[in-house]
Amino acid sequence: MSEEYYKIDAINSGTLADFYKWEKNIREEPVDKYEYWLGKCFEGVVREKYDKGYTLPFFPIENLNKRIVQALIDGSSLDEIVRVNKDGSVRKSDQDIAEQIEIIKAEERAPIDQKDFDLIQKTVGNLMTMEVMDGLTVADFLEHAEFDKTVVWEDEYGNKFKALFDIVSTLETDGNQLISVALDLKYYANEYGFSTMFKSKLWVQERHYTEALKHYCIEKFSSPYFCMPFLVGYKDSGLTQVNIIEEDFIDRAEQRYYDLRQRYIEWINSGKKETGHLTKRYLKVY
């Protein structure tokens, strides 16, 4: 992911999604965890097949020790987790950990457990042949893809926005017209995990990136696709699925997105004062 992107002072989908969840309150999401590594590895294995300038920042280790993973996430010294005897020799129970640490130091990449890595490879294989739309598979889109593409734009009031596409492809239609499609890769434990996350925040990303696509298309002289399909792999099965917003719900989702954006901008302009509470919830009994 582009370091330059994070330096751009602009509103992104993650900021809006956090505001949708926490409203006028600031909460820090977890910085890192092993599940995030799996997701990035999944995205990276896809990208590695089509982006010649990209090197996968992960590698597999057989029976990866969880203490190593936690130390890397915490930013702790790997050497400090190796237990030693009084004479300074490594304990027998920690010899495997010590060996894994030496491999990691030599690789200078993040480790993924071999079983997880193999499953990701299998899942990506399934992904490539999956049809996205009109007989076009994921592989067809990747043949014409730009990866980690940054888009920055302003609205009519000077508010600045940004988006970072996983994948954006521009293809020629049967009528010799160009159409651009943004695609986002996700790796979730199961279908329920993705659908739950879509309801709570990913719908914001879908609308924000669809808006960004309109501005991307200006420089491509192409037409934007009406939504952003999510290409999702599931860890529990190794299966993949296209998740796409239903057209009948586009207008409603778009209105909710613009309302959310406006409320966030008003909060920013008022000094981001926190309320310490969420909006009243009305519960339903089914």
The model's pTM is: 0.92
Average pLDDT, integer, range 145-159: 96
Number of neighbours of residue 153 by Cβ within 10 angstroms: 16
Average pLDDT, integer, range 236-249: 96
Best CA proximity match to 146, nearest among 47, 40, 2: 47
Identify the pLDDT of residue 60: 98
Element housing 277 (H / E): none
Average pLDDT, integer, range 19-34: 89
Q: Are 217 and 171 in contact (CB under 8 A)?
A: no
Encoded amino acid at 149, one letter: K
Give the residue range(s) of CATH 3.90.320 domains in the chain.
Answer: 1-28+129-278
Quote the mean pLDDT of the chain.
95
2: pLDDT strictly greater than 80: no
Average pLDDT, integer, range 60-64: 97
Average pLDDT, integer, range 13-28: 94
Percent above pLDDT 90 for the chain: 88
**CATH match for 1-28+129-278 among 3.30.70, 3.30.300, 3.90.320, 3.10.310:** 3.90.320
Q: Are 97 and 65 in contact (CB under 8 A)?
A: yes
Q: What is the DSSP string of 183-245?
A: EEEEEESSHHHHHHHIIIIIHHHHHHHHHHHHHHHHHHT-EEPSS--EEEEETTT--EEEE--
1: pLDDT strictly greater than 60: no
- The predicted-structure confidence for 94-124, as pLDDT tens digits, reads as follows 899 999 999 999 998 999 999 999 999 999 9
Identify the pLDDT of residue 173: 83
Q: Tell me the C-alpha distance between 231 and 242, whole Å.
A: 5
Identify the pLDDT of residue 30: 72
